[in-house]
Amino acid sequence: MKSYLTILTCAAILFCLICGGCQTETVVEDELTLAQLPDEQAEPIKAEAEPEAEVKVESVEEAKVEAVVEPKVEVEKAKPESVKLDPNEPAVTVNDVIITEAQVQAKIKPQIDKMLANRRPGSQMPPDFIERYKQQARPQLLDMMIVGLLIDQAGQKANINITEQQINDQFALMASQRKVPVDQIKEMIEGSGFEAEYFVRRSLTLQKLIEVHGAKETNVTTDEVKQHYDQNQAKFSKSEQVRASHILIKPKVEKPGAQPTPEAKAAAKAKAEELLKQVQDGADFATLARENSDGPSAPKGGDLNFFSKGQMVPEFDKTAFELKVGQVSDVVETQFGYHIIKLTDRKEATVTTFEQAKDEIANKLIKNKQREFTGKYIESLKSEAKIVYPEGKEPQAIPSRPTARPRSRSMTRPNSKNMKSVTRE
């Protein structure tokens, strides 16, 4: 099958290589990533999404495109090293081409400026944070610049020519994938310290180099695709789903977290029963939900979108799946209060066949092989290059960069085991 490496995959691969793996707490991601471009707005009340039966081959790493390589370095031929440290002193020499300290610091500055601009009003940073950031960011950025320069040199040696049309097409593709204007893509790249055209040109150069040198290593056979399908059957099955709307009446409590009194529960149930009678007499369900429901789904007429079995609390789940489309339940009590449930749609369980899945499986396997090969290829460029560091500037282990603010990795809520469902309410 044809080997195809997208610009975004190249970017993600190179990011991981340079940064020693996908370090999800680095400032590159937190402050500067193109992942901050707006995606389609998620429904705030939607039940937890079930994995799609179709193969989703896009990796989250593909959003980290800003880390691909540095803008093309203005270079000068090597000259005798100066003893005095200054911005024009070499940070490293790569195949007789100098990268200066000034050029490295020029890449750090936009990141610091953007990080400071994105601070929450009134937030404070430790007095030495900027200097620590520079010290920890420098090894990563310098390594990125070295790799970028090696890609440029390899592209020149292979007579790879990237046209303006190819660059414009890639900008259009990136904008389409992110659903934003091309100008916004360029602004995001350049706001992170990269020159937009060189960013794309170098990414396309890397793509072509991999196509030339890794065609055999990144090829995927039909047998490999079939084996993956057979070994991952569960990923290609999709359980039955229903779509429901509801009206939720919560018993009143004296203060948040308090348990409702029997009288409050009786009053809430009575109100729910009165609303049910109105529905049975022909009142519009969505209107009653907007006007009376105590849940965040109220503005949407109580719509909860599609959900699978087990995503709602048991009482709600059982009732919803027993209803027929268009049918309205009796009043259902859960830990959240009293519900009136209306089933609005149903999707039967499905299985994605091999024929339906094979192309996306192949793309996924190809990208995995390309990622592995690209790592080896970049390392080969480094090992074959003449890379000379001034005395005392030899690279150490590349550290993680500090973040300006702590970031929680948890997406769970208190009591998530018991509250995994009704409506996120």
99 located within any domain? yes
409 located within any domain? no
340 located within any domain? yes
What tokens does 258 get? Answer: 């308090």
* 8 A C-beta contact, residue 120 and residue 375: no
Strand order in the sheet with 90-94: 97-100, 90-94, 387-388
| pLDDT value of position 75 | 39
| pLDDT value of position 322 | 96
Tell whether 343 and 205 lie within a shared domain. Answer: no
* 8 A C-beta contact, residue 204 and residue 167: yes
* Residue 67: CATH number of its domain: 1.10.4030.10
Tell whether 172 and 290 lie within a shared domain. Answer: no
Tell whether 192 and 320 lie within a shared domain. Answer: no
| pLDDT value of position 144 | 86
Among residues 291, 321, 348, which one ends one of the domains? 348
Extract long-range pairs of 265-272: CB within 8 Å, 24+ residues apart. 268/337, 268/338, 269/331, 269/333, 269/338, 271/338, 272/247, 272/331, 272/337, 272/338, 272/339, 272/340
Q: Exposed/middle/buried for 424, CB within 10 Å: 0-12, 13-18, 19+?
A: middle
Tell whether 255 and 199 lie within a shared domain. Answer: no
Task: Report the alpha-carbon distance of residue 203 to residue 148 in Å, rounded.
Answer: 9
| pLDDT value of position 397 | 59
Cα 379 from chain centroid (whole Å): 27
Tell whether 261 and 163 lie within a shared domain. Answer: no
- Total count of domains within the chain: 2
Tell whether 88 and 182 lie within a shared domain. Answer: yes
| pLDDT value of position 241 | 96
Tell whether 215 and 316 lie within a shared domain. Answer: no
Task: Report the alpha-carbon distance of residue 179 to residue 189 in Å, rounded.
Answer: 16
* 8 A C-beta contact, residue 31 and residue 118: yes
Tell whether 28 and 109 lie within a shared domain. Answer: yes
Weakly modelled stretches of the chain, pLDDT under 50: 1-85, 401-425
Tell whether 197 and 180 lie within a shared domain. Answer: yes
* Residue 257: CATH number of its domain: 3.10.50.40
Tell whether 52 and 160 lie within a shared domain. Answer: yes
Tell whether 372 and 283 lie within a shared domain. Answer: no
Determine the 3-state secondary structure of 299 from DSSP. helix
Tell whether 360 and 343 lie within a shared domain. Answer: no
The domain of 275 spans 240-348
